[in-house]
A and B are shown apart, each in its own frame.
Chain A
Amino acid sequence: EAGVTQFPSHSVIEKGQTVTLRCDPISGHDNLYWYRRVMGKEIKFLLHFVKESKQDESGMPNNRFLAERTGGTYSTLKVQPAELEDSGVYFCASSQALGASYEQYFGPGTRLTVT
């Protein structure tokens, strides 16, 4: 069974540019999460999809971030326009169902550097 995959693994862009990150969850997992780790800090929740619907987007930092999950399969996270403070590692995770007993499976992350 393939794990969670993310693309690209690294992205270096200039301030003001646009970047789109992609996440492919484990097949059959309805729940998809985005998290971000800024250098040296904790990993912070961004948002949660259940299928194609946004269940919780309370962690999205501002309206420069747009997440989509059309068709309830893969998800994209677009940052437009990027700012320096957006640099960090963006993780995607998926889980089979809701509830505490279902662990989240994480992808390798996308390292975003905004210069």
Chain B
Amino acid sequence: AQSVAQPEDQVNVAEGNPLTVKCTYSVSGNPYLFWYVQYPNRGLQFLLKYITGDNLVKGSYGFEAEFNKSQTSFHLKKPSALVSDSALYFCAVKTGANNLFFGTGTRLTVIP
């Protein structure tokens, strides 16, 4: 059975500092991993995905994520946080089935 864990409900970071939003997963088979972001009153927006290949994937708005198979992790990172990055972030995984399994979400607050 697939599952995704986002161990932090809330992450606070100062503007200009690097940010990390953590995600670990449990799947049988090869994982396909995704990050989505939800801004206030908006739908989920796709940020990036890992399918295969290079473990470091780059996405929208300067975000990147590193796939670590041994640690079953897919942490989201950004070198320098912006206030506008404040939002709710969801990690998701899928394997053979087409539906996504999501984590509970992490609320990121970037403090000016």
Chain A residues in the interface with B (C-beta under 8 A): 3-4, 6, 31, 33, 35, 40-45, 48, 55-56, 59, 91, 93, 95, 98-101, 103-109
Q: A6 vs B52: C-alpha distance in the bound complex, in angstroms?
A: 33
B contact face: mostly helix, strand, loop, or mixed? strand
Binding site for A on B (CB under 8 A): 4, 32, 34, 36, 41-46, 49, 51, 90, 92, 94, 97-105
B99 x A59 contact (CB < 8 A): yes
Tell me whether A109 and B94 are in contact (CB under 8 A).
no
Q: What are 28 of the A-B contact pairs (CB < 8 Å)? A: A3-B43, A6-B43, A31-B98, A33-B98, A33-B99, A33-B100, A35-B102, A41-B104, A42-B4, A42-B102, A42-B103, A42-B105, A43-B100, A44-B102, A45-B99, A45-B100, A48-B99, A55-B98, A56-B97, A56-B99, A91-B43, A91-B44, A100-B51, A100-B94, A103-B46, A103-B49, A105-B46, A106-B43
